[in-house]
Amino acid sequence: IFSLDHVMEHKYDFDLIYITERIISVSFPPALEEQRYRSNLREVAQMLKSKHEDKYLFYPRTLSRYIKLHKNFGWPDLHAPPLDKICSICKAMETWLNSDSQHVAVLHYQALSTLTMRKFCEDKVAASLQPSQKRYIHYFSGLLSGTIKMNSNTLFLHHVLLPAIPTFESGGGYQPFLKIYQSMQLVYTSGIYSLHGASGTQKICITLEPALLLKGDVMVKCYHKHLQGGERDVVFRVQFHTCTIHSTQLWFSKDELDEAWRDERFPFEASVEFVFSSSPEKIKGRETYRNNADVAVDYSISDPIVRWDSYENFNLQYEDSLEGIKVS
């Protein structure tokens, strides 16, 4: 039997907090070594079983190295979960908790080291969230309250306007390119846009031809390709859901962009703009969406730095040998 003395005698790499009597939070350091993570997860299961017998169930919140453990509700660390998965998690937890008054739900974290969610204290949670995560919380809240209306209209993306940041790389130089994902599947990679030295250009326009049909959860990730050295940096990442878009233009300021919101290289006043329509046809009257002569484009995207997709294997399912752990 797992006793309090046993807990006190051992040092663990996790925090286990009772948010309520029936909702528990378990968090792990993000860089925890694999074998130690596995061992600690077993210890958690023993603790829960000693108090709750078999009436506990894990609800994974982020992608771990044990993808099978998270196969129902997994998503990458520090990213917003798809809107349908938020609904699925809440529904699954509600069903589990309502089926037996002794049932407890365990929220499992690995992306954040000390997130407790005690009494859902937003002031503590918000400081650790990326802007897209906050956006999806707002989506879910709005859908529940009825303040956000679902838009089921067809949506085509024609242009993405990026801020020109000629000094993004130390010493000067800016070579942005985009990757666009739907449901974590890569659907578009842009050419590499180059802006070198001093320039009067304020915006870089990436035009998608043909226009890209978007539906559901969308993630846009902008990279800067280093001028030398074969590396790339993330400029920003942004996630949104098309059902919440009710106009032809969508803007995100610096504090609404993942990664960029705390990057000093990204100007405070800069923003990213998306231009949509309900048709794949070119938008009339939008001839102003053109780049100046000082913006060059390389459409040859065979460079492995550009081709590399960091989410390519996200949906692969691997066997996991953890036993005695009940997961949703």
With cut-offs at 50, 70 and 90, classify the pLDDT of residue 175: very high
Q: What is the mean pLDDT of residues 129-142?
A: 86
- Tell me which amino acid residue 304 is: P
Q: What is the per-residue pLDDT for 78?
A: 66
pTM beyond 0.75, yes or no: no
With cut-offs at 50, 70 and 90, classify the pLDDT of residue 323: very low
Those residues whose C-beta lies under 8 Å from the C-beta of residue 150, and which sit 6 or more positions away, are 143, 243
Are 110 and 65 contacting, i.e. CB atoms less than 8 angstroms apart? no
Distance of CA 17 to the CA centre of its chain: 25
Query: Looking at the predicted structure, is the pLDDT value of residue 105 above 50?
Result: yes
76 phi and psi, to 5 degrees?
Answer: -65, 150
Q: Out of 8-17, 120-129, 162-171, pick the least confident.
A: 120-129
In whole angstroms, what is the distance from residue 34 CA to residue 14 CA? Answer: 14
In whole angstroms, what is the distance from residue 307 CA to residue 177 CA? Answer: 11
Going by C-alpha positions, the residue among 13, 115, 16 that lies closest to residue 62 is 115
In whole angstroms, what is the distance from residue 316 CA to residue 312 CA? Answer: 9
Q: What is the per-residue pLDDT for 268?
A: 95
With cut-offs at 50, 70 and 90, classify the pLDDT of residue 61: very low
SS3 272: strand
Q: What is the per-residue pLDDT for 213?
A: 97
Q: What is the per-residue pLDDT for 28?
A: 73
| H-state helical runs in the chain | 4-9, 34-52, 83-99, 122-126, 131-145, 304-307
With cut-offs at 50, 70 and 90, classify the pLDDT of residue 129: confident
Query: Looking at the predicted structure, is the pLDDT value of residue 73 above 70?
Result: no
SS3 122: helix
% of the chain with per-residue pLDDT over 90: 34
Q: What is the per-residue pLDDT for 222?
A: 97
DSSP 195: B
Per-residue pLDDT of 276-304, as tens digits, reads 999 999 888 766 788 888 899 998 777 88
Query: Looking at the predicted structure, is the pLDDT value of residue 313 above 70?
Result: no
**Integer CA distances (angstroms), 91 to 77, 116, 260, 316, 328, in order:** 22, 21, 33, 25, 12
Query: Average pLDDT over the chain, rounded to whole?
Result: 78
Q: What is the per-residue pLDDT for 286?
A: 67
Query: Looking at the predicted structure, is the pLDDT value of residue 262 above 80?
Result: yes
- Tell me which amino acid residue 85 is: K
Q: Are strands 271-277 and 23-27 parallel, antiparallel or unpaired?
A: unpaired
With cut-offs at 50, 70 and 90, classify the pLDDT of residue 47: confident
Query: Looking at the predicted structure, is the pLDDT value of residue 183 above 80?
Result: yes
Q: Are strands 271-277 and 155-163 parallel, antiparallel or unpaired?
A: antiparallel
Q: What is the per-residue pLDDT for 45?
A: 83
Per the structure block, which two tokens stand in for 191?
């050419």
